[in-house]
């Protein structure tokens, strides 16, 4: 294999990872769910539902399952109280700095966007 073919293959692998990351983050509500858990720590479903206000409960359940399947969120159950919480995994927590950069960028450049509660 020629050197430029190797570089091309590596770029495709990098691109695939990049695309996969944005498929997760770009899915509607996922960013807000991650941000809520970053800001509040572990949360019960009801609290998440009240924080991500325009997301239906059905969709919130789907998104939490997707984030759990991608090892970004974990579902914690406590037998003694039947309490269920959702929390970020170590992988999810590692998104803190990136999410702050996205938040800062949107504050600066998306000045004409309506707020979530509008």
Q: Looking at residue 42, what is its pLDDT?
A: 98
> CATH for 28-109?
1.10.10.10
- Which is more confidently placed, 59 or 19? 59
Residue extents of the structural domains in the chain: 28-109
The length of the chain, given as a count of residues: 118
CA distance 54 to 15: 32
CB 33 within 8 A of CB 92: no
In the predicted model, is pLDDT for residue 87 greater than 60?
yes
pLDDT in tens, 29-86: 999 999 999 999 999 999 999 999 999 999 999 999 999 999 999 999 987 778 899 9
Q: Which pair of tokens denotes residue 37?
A: 């858990």
Residue of 103 and 117 predicted with greater confidence: 103
pLDDT band for position 4 (cuts 50, 70, 90): low
pLDDT of residue 70: 95
Is 102 exposed, middle or buried, given 0-12, 13-18 or 19+ CB atoms closer than 10 A? middle
3-state secondary structure of 116: coil
pLDDT number for residue 117: 44
- The residues, any chain, with a CB within 8 Å of residue 78's CB and separated by 6 or more, are 84, 85
């Amino acid at each position: 294999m020629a050197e430029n073919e190797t570089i091309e293959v590596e770029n495709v692998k990098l691109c695939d990872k990049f695309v996969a990351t944005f498929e997760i983050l770009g899915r509607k509500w996922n960013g807000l769910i991650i941000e809520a858990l970053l800001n509040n720590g572990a949360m019960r479903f009801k609290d998440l539902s009240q924080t991500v206000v325009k997301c239906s409960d059905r969709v919130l359940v789907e998104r939490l399952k997707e984030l759990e399947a991608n090892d970004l969120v974990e579902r914690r159950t406590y037998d003694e109280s039947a309490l269920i919480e959702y929390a970020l995994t170590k992988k999810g927590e590692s998104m803190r700095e990136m999410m702050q950069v996205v938040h800062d960028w949107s504050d600066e450049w998306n000045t004409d966007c309506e707020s979530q509660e509008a």
